[in-house]
């Protein structure tokens, strides 16, 4: 391993610009003559829009234009779409309601944009927005997914009777029911997987510019997948043809999934920029982010796990109601189905699994993929049930897990996934040792002496990254393929540009991708530039989400590098006057096997471009290759997280006092970045379990619409994390990478809740386990001194 | 934010005159309460009177048996002041628990008290120590100053100049944070000075900061957590919201009072 090669903890190249304030985000970009957009948003969760009077507002200083949903409709533009078709049990397609970028006729959630004001300054736009008079007729709203499909609930979209989008299922109902009936023991749990607000540090932003001369539009946009944005905006919304639309995603400050989706605001900015003939800029304010960024999770679940007399899991049955909010966001349909039910086997051999998912509309912000997307929800179901099962059976939770682990690979689960490789026992064992599991009883006694309750909880999770192959996802209803592209462009001096269809918004690709290329070509990482995020510069690509950039994106780079190396060898053979088959490339040098004749990488690169020494009829000049890589299977990262908590029974305050994570991510490119990903993921998962509470009132008002009420995890909510890895390589991609970006957020909620319920001695508590909730639970269960 | 006229008076008299002339004018101290509400367009004062150039409003002095803190003194300066740390360590500690470093470097004691947020920390210290709030017009006892949530005894054009804290024999502050805002979900300040015992509670009450006479009586017999064993306050009149029910807050008042007394006597 070289000092910057694969496996080296190289410092991130991009951090210098970020930590010195030199990052270049959408809001940092200004175009001559730009106007500022202020959206007028429904204050009601559900209301008829009877009239919009813009006359007073239009006369205010600086106002360049005011457009309403009715005008958007007149221009016959298309609707935003959900790009993954899910079929109901009866074969009928999901009920996708129109989602115009500006609502006309009816607003369906608080924050639904009904009009936009464009003005010379943002303050003028806001002043005018206050003077736009919208005449609403409020309608009854439904916010609770458990009530959305009930008789008498207000209907949100005509296309979806009972507010039901689909009733989907996976697995064998009959066999699962039979196994439940014959079980020695059945563990049953009901829980809510709490709705989360994503909270990327950089709010969403868009800047659109129309060039009348060429008739083309440019969109700078805080997005995780610029090409997909361009495709949806051109092909479905129809603001501009694909070749007349350039999407640039400059530095993007965090996404966690929320910037995958195509939102109304960027569409409106493009549409308005053309109408006005002037650039239009919009940057969300934090309060807007709370009510417009797609939220995450929001499941109501009942699940049963069956065990035989030997402690083996014989079946799992799950029913989930998934709240998708007021509209179907870009990938919303897939999250509680294909990204959820397919992972319900966890790390275990479970012969029979049956899962039903009812997706419903409610008058709330749309819900879509958020770090982990379906997999944290699945892990929560499986890992809570296994832990509680162990408690009910009186077996050590680690032992019960070990007994049921999948031990031979490949393993075909009963929910379609084919696990390729893993060693679940190894990660569990290592975690038990690192955590000093044996010492828990002693630590618990020490806590008791101090009047505290201590608990320990596990999550031996599995996840799937790099969702693919494309043909399979196509069969499952995806509107896109999930391959990735790369182009490796060698310059005449030997330095390299890599164009990737992935997009970085916190992952560190500029470093890790450069490590891969530098290692392969014998260069320093400073000689390798990673270009991404501009549809005019980079070939089509699928963007970054679902921990796919390592497993899929880097594999595409490897394929392109293979081609570069093959061609470079041909050229080297001519330069060295040797047979191509005798050329060996190593450490940045081409040598003729068995001789001391060699040519440096740079000489061959230059040779390729001057093209003096090879027949250009056989070998084209230049050195630039591209590849589109389509994986043959998902990858399956897995691991074991152990959480230890201490609870103050007098106040209900819960502190995470110990955390051990042993993950199997396959090949690790940069251990420091991987560790950072685990830290961030665990923090988000702890946030979900202890702090983050998205509360709507009955009328559909978001009660937790700011940081005064929505609690984000902070450094002091976490202990020092012990993070380690075990490695089984992924057999289906060239580097053996599995992916690491979401693991922490997937494992953590279950681990925390297992620890808390262990400490409390009751399972009857939902996330987030805030101090008030924990205290109230203790009062109910009478296990402790009651309120003094 | 709405447009406003910005004034930077050099003297207290100029500041007071500006307030008298413009009824809707607002004083600006650290801005950490006022500016966010203006940015959200929840407040739109047409005139802002910035106190930052007014001489003599910041600083900490010890005189005899009290400590006097200027209205424009930042939370961070109180928390790091050797004088405060020595004379009333509980007050220094309280100031260090307000918000985050950015807030503590801007926010001021005068702004905090004038604002009287029902979850703010300083009101508990003022009431819990029996402070005197000094204005450009008069001296007001803390017991008379805090009149309800976000309301005080301040009259229009009245400016807080200083707060004077008598030095207690023993004192401590226990804060149980709201996990989101990190203001006090409940905070209890206890002090003992001669025969005077004070227990002041912030965060819990629907009308802002209040004293707990029953606890004070019990502690008069013996200043020990044991004296409060089994005692609590009624849930009526407590705040109830998504962060905690009235019962929970009432319960925390008892718990935190006991812990504060234990801390004050060094246990
Ligand atoms: C993120 C964040 C976290 C916070 N956390 C906490 C916390 O944990 N605990 C806590 O107690 N507070 C907290 N605060 C509030 C903070 O302490 C404020 O600074 C304080 O409440 C107001 O002080 P200021 O100097 O910023 O006042 P400003 O915002 O400038 O003014 C507040 C009000 O007081 C008036 N005023 C200011 N000075 C005077 C004066 N001398 N005489 C009369 N009226 C005056 C102003 O006109 C205005 O109405 C937090 C604030 C933020 C933004």
pLDDT (tens digit per residue) in B89-118: 999 999 999 999 999 999 999 999 999 999
CB contact under 8 A, B40 and A287: yes
Cβ–ligand 1 contact at B103 (below 6 Å): yes
Element of type H or E holding A759: helix A743-760
Mean pLDDT of chain A: 96
Stretch A76-103: mean pLDDT: 97
Protein residue whose Cα sits closest to atom 32 of ligand 1: B111
Stretch A323-351: mean pLDDT: 98
Name the one residue in this structure whose structure tokens are 């399956």: A636
CB contact under 8 A, A707 and B181: yes
CB contact under 8 A, B251 and A787: yes
User: In chain B, what residues touch A652 (CB-CB under 8 Å)?
Assistant: 248
Tell me the nearest-neighbour CA distance from B196 into chain A, angstroms.
Answer: 25
Is the pLDDT reported for residue A787 higher than 60? Answer: no
pLDDT bin (cut points 50, 70, 90) of residue A472 is confident
pLDDT (tens digit per residue) in A401-457: 999 999 999 999 999 999 999 999 999 999 999 999 999 999 999 999 999 999 999
Distance CA A376, CA A461 (A): 9
Closest CA to A545 of A261, A755, A281, A768: A261
pLDDT (tens digit per residue) in A688-707: 999 999 999 999 999 999 99
pLDDT bin (cut points 50, 70, 90) of residue A174 is very high
Angle at A168 between CA A163 and CA A173, to 5 degrees: 135
Residue B242 touches chain A, beta carbons under 8 Å: yes
Residue A365: Cβ-neighbour burial (10 angstroms; 0-12, 13-18, 19+): buried
Is the pLDDT reported for residue A547 higher than 90? Answer: no
User: Residue A467: what pLDDT?
Assistant: 84
Angle at B62 between CA B58 and CA B66, to 5 degrees: 110
Q: Give the Å distances, CA to CA, from A152 to A51, A141, A156, A296.
A: 27, 11, 12, 27
Residue B3 touches chain A, beta carbons under 8 Å: yes
Tell me the nearest-neighbour CA distance from B28 into chain A, angstroms.
Answer: 21
Chain A residues with CB-CB distance to B under 8 A? 123, 126-127, 130, 287, 650-653, 690-691, 693, 695, 703-704, 707-712, 770-772, 775-776, 787-788
Starting from the edge strand earliest in sequence, which strands make up the sheet with A280-283, in order? A63-68, A113-119, A35-41, A280-283, A205-211, A216-221, A245-248
User: Residue A129: what pLDDT?
Assistant: 98
Rg (CA), chain B: 18
What angle, rounded to 10 degrees, do the helices at A771-781 and A743-760 form? 30
Residue B106: Cβ-neighbour burial (10 angstroms; 0-12, 13-18, 19+): middle
Tell me the nearest-neighbour CA distance from A116 into chain B, angstroms.
Answer: 18
Starting from the edge strand earliest in sequence, which strands make up the sheet with A583-586, in order? A583-586, A589-592, A598-600
Protein residue whose Cα sits closest to atom 17 of ligand 1: B107
Is the pLDDT reported for residue A35 higher than 50? Answer: yes
The closest CB to that of A693, out of B40, B41, B242, belongs to B242
Fold of B60-264: 3.30.465
Q: Give the distance (Å) from ligand 1 centre to CA of residue B75.
A: 10
CA A499 to chain centre: 22
User: In chain A, what residues touch B255 (CB-CB under 8 Å)?
Assistant: 650-651, 788
pLDDT bin (cut points 50, 70, 90) of residue A788 is very low
Stretch A362-387: mean pLDDT: 98
Whether residue A116 contacts residue A71, with contact meaning beta carbons closer than 8 Å, is answered with no
Distance CA B157, CA A781 (A): 54
Tell me which of A129, A697, A709, A714 to substitute to probe the interface with B (most B C-beta atoms closer than 10 Å). Answer: A709
Distance CA A368, CA A335 (A): 7
Question: What are the φ and ψ backbone dihedral angles of A651, each rounded to 5 degrees?
Answer: -115, -15
SS3 sequence, B130-193? CCEEEECCCEEEHHHHEEECCEECCCCCCCEEEEEEECCCEEEEEEEECCCCCCEEEEEEEEEE
Measured torsion, CA atoms of residues B148, B152, B155, B159, in degrees rounded to the nearest 10: -160
Q: Give the distance (Å) from ligand 1 centre to CA of residue B31.
A: 6
Closest CA to A286 of A679, A768, A709: A709
Enter the pTM of the model: 0.97
User: In chain A, what residues touch B248 (CB-CB under 8 Å)?
Assistant: 652, 772, 775-776
User: In chain B, what residues touch A126 (CB-CB under 8 Å)?
Assistant: 41
**A127 to chain B: closest CA residue:** B2
Residue B245 touches chain A, beta carbons under 8 Å: yes
- Between residues 38 and 67 of chain B, which touch chain A (CB distance below 8 Å)? 40-41
Pairing of strands A496-500, B5-7: unpaired
Q: Which two tokens stand for residue A565?
A: 């190396």
Protein residue whose Cα sits closest to atom 27 of ligand 1: B111
Stretch A273-295: mean pLDDT: 98
Q: Which two tokens stand for residue B228?
A: 């409060």
Is the pLDDT reported for residue A786 higher than 80? Answer: no
Number of CB pairs, chain A paired with chain B, less than 8 A apart: 57
Tell me which of B179, B245, B258 to substitute to probe the interface with A (most A C-beta atoms closer than 10 Å). Answer: B179
Pairing of strands A653-664, A722-725: parallel
pLDDT (tens digit per residue) in B44-54: 999 999 999 99
Is the pLDDT reported for residue A785 higher than 50? Answer: no
pLDDT (tens digit per residue) in A726-771: 999 999 999 999 999 999 999 999 999 999 999 999 999 999 999 9
Domain positions in chain B: 5-50, 60-264
CB contact under 8 A, B232 and A788: yes
Question: What are the φ and ψ backbone dihedral angles of A150, each rounded to 5 degrees?
Answer: -70, 155
Name the one residue in this structure whose structure tokens are 């950072």: A676
CB contact under 8 A, B176 and A653: yes
Nearest atom in ligand 1 to B100's CA: 3
**A716 to chain B: closest CA residue:** B179
Residue B231 touches chain A, beta carbons under 8 Å: yes
Q: What is the CATH number of domain B5-50?
A: 3.30.43.10
Domains present along chain A, CATH in parentheses: 31-139+201-254+259-292 (3.90.1170.50), 299-467+633-781 (3.30.365.10), 483-629 (3.30.365.10)
Checking A209-214 for CB contacts under 8 A at 24+ apart, the result is A209/A31, A209/A34, A209/A273, A209/A279, A210/A273, A210/A274, A210/A277, A210/A278, A210/A279, A212/A277, A214/A244
Is the pLDDT reported for residue B190 higher than 50? Answer: yes
Q: Give the whole-number percent of chain A exceeding pLDDT 90.
A: 96
Cβ–ligand 1 contact at B108 (below 6 Å): yes
Is the pLDDT reported for residue A236 higher than 50? Answer: yes
Q: Give the distance (Å) from ligand 1 centre to CA of residue A768.
A: 30
Stretch A571-576: mean pLDDT: 97
Q: Give the Å distances, CA to CA, from B136 to A488, A670, B66, B140, B162.
A: 72, 62, 20, 11, 9
Q: Give the distance (Å) from ligand 1 centre to CA of residue B99.
A: 11
Q: Give the whole-number percent of chain A exceeding pLDDT 70.
A: 99
Element of type H or E holding B261: helix B246-264
Distance CA A755, CA A262 (A): 38
């Amino acid at each position: 391993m070289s000092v910057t090669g694969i496996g080296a903890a190289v410092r991130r190249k991009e951090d210098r610009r970020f930590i010195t304030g030199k990052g270049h985000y959408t809001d940092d970009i200004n175009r001559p003559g730009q106007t500022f957009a202020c959206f007028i948003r429904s204050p009601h969760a559900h209301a008829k829009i009877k009239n919009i009077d813009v006359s007073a507002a239009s006369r205010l200083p600086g106002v360049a234009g005011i457009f309403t949903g009715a005008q958007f409709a007149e221009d016959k533009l298309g609707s935003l779409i959900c790009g993954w078709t899910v079929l109901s049990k009866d074969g009928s397609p999901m009920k996708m309601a129109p989602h115009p970028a500006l609502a006309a006729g009816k607003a369906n959630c608080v924050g639904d944009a009904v009009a936009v004001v464009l003005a010379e300054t943002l303050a003028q736009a806001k002043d005018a927005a206050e003077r736009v008079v919208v005449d609403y007729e409020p309608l009854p709203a439904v916010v609770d997914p458990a009530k959305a499909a009930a008789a008498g609930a207000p209907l949100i979209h005509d296309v979806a009777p009972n507010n039901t989008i689909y009733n989907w299922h996976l697995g064998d109902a009959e066999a699962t029911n039979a196994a439940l009936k014959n079980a020695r023991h059945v563990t049953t749990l009901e829980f809510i997987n709490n709705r989360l607000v994503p909270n990327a540090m950089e709010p969403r932003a868009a800047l659109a510019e129309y060039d009348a001369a060429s008739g083309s539009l440019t969109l700078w946009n805080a997005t995780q997948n610029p090409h997909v944005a361009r495709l949806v905006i051109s092909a479905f919304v129809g603001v501009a043809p694909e070749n007349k639309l350039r999407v640039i995603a400059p530095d993007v400050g965090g996404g966690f999934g929320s910037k995958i989706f195509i939102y109304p605001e960027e569409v409106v900015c493009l549409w308005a920029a053309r109408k006005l003939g002037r650039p239009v800029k919009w940057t969300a304010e934090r309060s807007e982010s709370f009510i417009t960024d797609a939220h995450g999770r929001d499941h109501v679940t009942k699940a049963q796990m069956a065990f035989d007399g030997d402690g083996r899991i014989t079946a799992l049955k799950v029913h989930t109601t998934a709240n998708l909010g007021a509209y179907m966001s870009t990938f919303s349909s897939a999250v509680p189905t294909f990204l959820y039910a397919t992972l319900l086997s966890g790390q275990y051999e479970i012969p029979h699994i049956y899962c039903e998912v009812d997706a419903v509309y409610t008058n709330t912000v749309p819900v879509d993929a958020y770090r982990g997307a379906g997999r944290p929800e699945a892990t929560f179901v499986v890992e809570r049930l296994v832990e509680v099962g162990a408690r009910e059976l009186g077996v050590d939770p680690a032992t019960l897990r070990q007994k049921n682990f999948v031990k031979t690979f490949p393993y075909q689960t009963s929910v379609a996934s084919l696990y390729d490789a893993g060693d679940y026992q190894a990660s569990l064992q290592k975690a038990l040792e690192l955590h000093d599991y044996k010492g828990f009883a002693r630590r618990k006694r020490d806590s008791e002496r101090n009047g505290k309750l201590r608990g320990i909880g596990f999550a031996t999770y599995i996840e799937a990254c790099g969702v693919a192959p494309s043909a399979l996802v196509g069969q499952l209803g995806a509107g896109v393929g999930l391959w990735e592209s790369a182009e490796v462009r060698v310059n005449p001096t030997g330095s390299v540009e890599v164009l990737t269809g992935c997009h970085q918004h916190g992952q560190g690709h500029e470093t890790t991708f450069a490590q891969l290329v530098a290692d392969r070509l014998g260069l320093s990482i400073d000689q390798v530039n990673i270009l991404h995020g501009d549809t005019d510069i980079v070939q089509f690509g699928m963007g970054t989400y679902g921990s796919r950039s390592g497993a899929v994106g880097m594999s595409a780079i490897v394929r392109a590098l293979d081609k570069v190396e093959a061609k470079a060898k041909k050229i080297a053979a001519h330069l060295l006057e040797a047979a191509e088959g005798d050329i060996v490339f190593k450490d940045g040098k081409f040598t003729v096997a068995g001789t001391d004749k060699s040519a440096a990488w740079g000489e061959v690169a230059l040779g390729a471009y001057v093209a003096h020494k090879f027949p250009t009829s056989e070998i084209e000049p230049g050195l630039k290759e591209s590849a589109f890589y389509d994986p043959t299977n998902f990858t399956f990262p897995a691991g074991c997280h152990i959480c230890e908590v201490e609870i103050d029974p007098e106040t209900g305050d819960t502190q995470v006092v110990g955390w051990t994570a042993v993950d199997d991510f396959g090949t690790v490119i940069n251990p420091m970045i991987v560790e950072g990903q685990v830290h961030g993921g665990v923090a988000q998962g702890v946030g979900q379990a202890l702090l983050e509470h998205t509360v709507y009132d009955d009328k559909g008002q978001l009660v937790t619409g700011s940081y005064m009420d929505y609690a984000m995890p902070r450094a002091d909510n976490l202990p020092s994390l012990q993070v380690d890895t075990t490695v089984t390589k992924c057999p289906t991609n060239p580097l053996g990478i599995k992916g690491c970006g979401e693991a922490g957020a997937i494992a953590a909620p279950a681990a925390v809740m297992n620890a808390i319920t262990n400490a409390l001695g009751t399972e009857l508590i939902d996330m987030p386990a805030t101090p008030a909730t924990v205290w109230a639970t203790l009062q109910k269960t009478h296990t402790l001194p009651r309120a003094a | 934010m709405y447009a406003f006229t910005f004034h930077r008076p050099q003297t207290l008299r100029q500041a007071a005159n500006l307030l008298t002339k413009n009824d809707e004018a607002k004083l600006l101290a650290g801005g950490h309460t006022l500016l966010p509400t203006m940015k959200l367009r929840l407040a739109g004062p047409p005139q802002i009177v910035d106190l930052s150039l007014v001489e003599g409003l910041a600083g900490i002095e010890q005189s005899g048996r009290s400590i006097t803190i200027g209205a424009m003194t930042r939370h961070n300066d109180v928390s790091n002041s050797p004088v405060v740390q020595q004379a009333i360590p509980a007050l220094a500690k309280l100031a260090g628990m307000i918000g985050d470093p950015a807030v503590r470097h801007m926010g001021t004691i005068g702004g905090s008290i004038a604002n009287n947020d029902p979850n703010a920390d300083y009101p508990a210290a003022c009431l819990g120590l029996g402070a005197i709030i000094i204005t450009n017009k008069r001296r007001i006892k803390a017991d008379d100053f805090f009149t309800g949530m976000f309301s005080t005894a301040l009259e229009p054009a009245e400016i807080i100049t200083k707060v004077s804290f008598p030095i207690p024999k023993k004192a401590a502050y226990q804060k149980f944070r709201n996990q989101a805002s990190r203001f006090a979900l409940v905070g209890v300040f206890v002090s003992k000075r001669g025969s005077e015992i004070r227990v002041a509670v912030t965060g819990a009450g629907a009308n802002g900061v209040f004293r707990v006479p029953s606890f004070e009586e019990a502690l008069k017999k013996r200043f020990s957590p044991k004296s409060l064993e089994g005692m609590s306050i009624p849930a009526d009149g407590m705040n109830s919201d998504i962060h905690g029910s009235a019962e929970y807050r009432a319960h925390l008042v008892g718990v935190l009072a006991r812990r504060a007394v234990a801390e004050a006597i060094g246990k």
